[in-house]
Amino acid sequence: MTLEFENLTQRIDAMAQSVAEREDKRKDLTDELLVVMERYAEDWTAVDKALAMAQNLADPKLYRAARPFNHNAPLNAQINPPAPPQKATLVATDGSQIMPDRHAAHLYFLINIGSIVYHHGESHAPRPFSIPELHYPADDREMARFIMGSSEVSIARDLREIGTLADTAWNLRGGDHPLLAILDQRLLYWPIGGTEAAPNDDVVAWLRSMTKLHDSGALLAGYIDRPMTTAVVTLLRSLTGVGDPKFDWKSLGKQGAGGGLNDIALFRRLLEPGQRSKAFVNVSPPNERFAEHDPANEVCFFYFHPGRGIARVDIPRWVAEDDEAIAAVHALLHDQCQILGDYPYVIARADEMAVVGRQDNENLNFLIDVAMQRHGVASRLTAKQGSKGLARGGKTRHRGI
């Protein structure tokens, strides 16, 4: 059966009207916060006071904000991209996975890490590569974990992404020009469900890879396309709360607070293509744990206009505190975006190398089936999976006479 669109037309129209009304409200809120940003652009005493009040009065479980990294540029800075280095080496990684499927003939999961080494300013061709890893239960005790462990697969993929990035950068260390390592995700890695009191083993593994990247002499950036964070909005709302006895400090960080406005709305209005914001520090308990583990790994960020939309670029403290380093990150990302128009070329190529398409999945299952038959193991789909294959293949079951 196909989707009956005629039954959705009224809801689609209502949806469009609702979005239009929200956009109007967000425009007014954005105007107000941009005025606040201008008013306190270089009033660092007021900024420090607002952050201190928020830390004391906001709900610590919800509160997340931005703190200016330094006073070198105003809050509403519009920093133009500098000329990129004459030569540089860029490394990017991305990952994909095939999740374990309890309805499939055999239980396994696959992680595929795609990567690329790109030589900026040199005639060497880019070197893309991928590293697939097949995992399966070694015994019956692991069967349940494989069936229920989709989150574990995602964490394993994330750790292999940054681990591969660190290993590749380490092998390229010692060059006479900048080495930039790029992840297609945030740097402040804290899996859902963990406690914020201390890093768990997964977070520690992530931090060790960050430290290895630092030791390799690489610059590091996490590129987040269309981020939904509200850290700078929260900072500006804190500034409006100082001196206002009716201000609801407990709402800071709460989803939907402040009219549901996020940082993109501000910087879409503020930045021109190619420009970046000033650098901020991520104010949150997980980032405090990052800094306690290694001060150099404290996560900072800036917003960047790649040509369409707004991206957030996470950088560790060791990049943020070096003016030449942060300028190189900005310049090289801007240069990369010129290749595709609005997205870094190396990240797109890493994703291309990582993605496992439907045909790849089918070929992998065929190879597994052949190996199983060679060892005398039968392949059996569940009834549910078999029915899906019939229905989605355009066939129907024979129902009898």
What does the pLDDT look like over 90-113, one tens digit per residue? Answer: 999 999 998 887 777 788 889 999
The whole-angstrom distance between residue 115's C-alpha and the CA centroid of its chain comes to 16
For every one of its 401 residues, what pLDDT tens digit does the chain have, with 9 covering 90 and above?
578 888 888 888 888 888 887 777 778 899 999 999 999 999 999 999 999 999 999 988 889 999 999 999 999 999 999 999 999 999 999 999 988 877 777 888 899 999 999 999 998 899 999 999 998 887 777 776 666 567 888 899 999 999 999 999 999 999 899 999 999 999 999 886 555 667 788 999 999 999 999 999 999 999 999 899 999 999 999 999 998 888 989 888 777 766 778 999 999 999 999 999 999 999 999 999 999 999 999 999 999 999 988 999 999 999 999 999 999 999 999 999 999 889 999 999 999 999 988 898 888 888 888 888 888 887 665 444 444 554 555 554 444 44
What does the pLDDT look like over 267-281, one tens digit per residue? Answer: 999 999 999 999 999
Other CB atoms within 10 A of residue 249 CB: 16
For 165, counting Cβ atoms within 10 Å of its Cβ (0-12 exposed, 13-18 middle, 19+ buried), the class is buried
Whole-number Å distance between alpha carbons of 315 and 327:
12
- Per-residue pLDDT at 194: 55
Structure tokens at 173: 């260390």
Q: Cβ distance 73 to 119 under 8 Å?
A: no
- Mean of all residue pLDDT scores within the chain: 88
For 13, counting Cβ atoms within 10 Å of its Cβ (0-12 exposed, 13-18 middle, 19+ buried), the class is exposed
pTM here is 0.88
Whole-number Å distance between alpha carbons of 56 and 90:
42
Alpha-carbon Rg for the chain, nearest whole angstrom, is 24
> What element of type H or E holds 91?
strand 88-98
What does the pLDDT look like over 1-41, one tens digit per residue? Answer: 578 888 888 888 888 888 887 777 778 899 999 999 999 99
Q: How does DSSP classify residue 256?
A: T
* Domains assigned to the chain: 88-354 (3.30.420), 358-389 (no CATH)
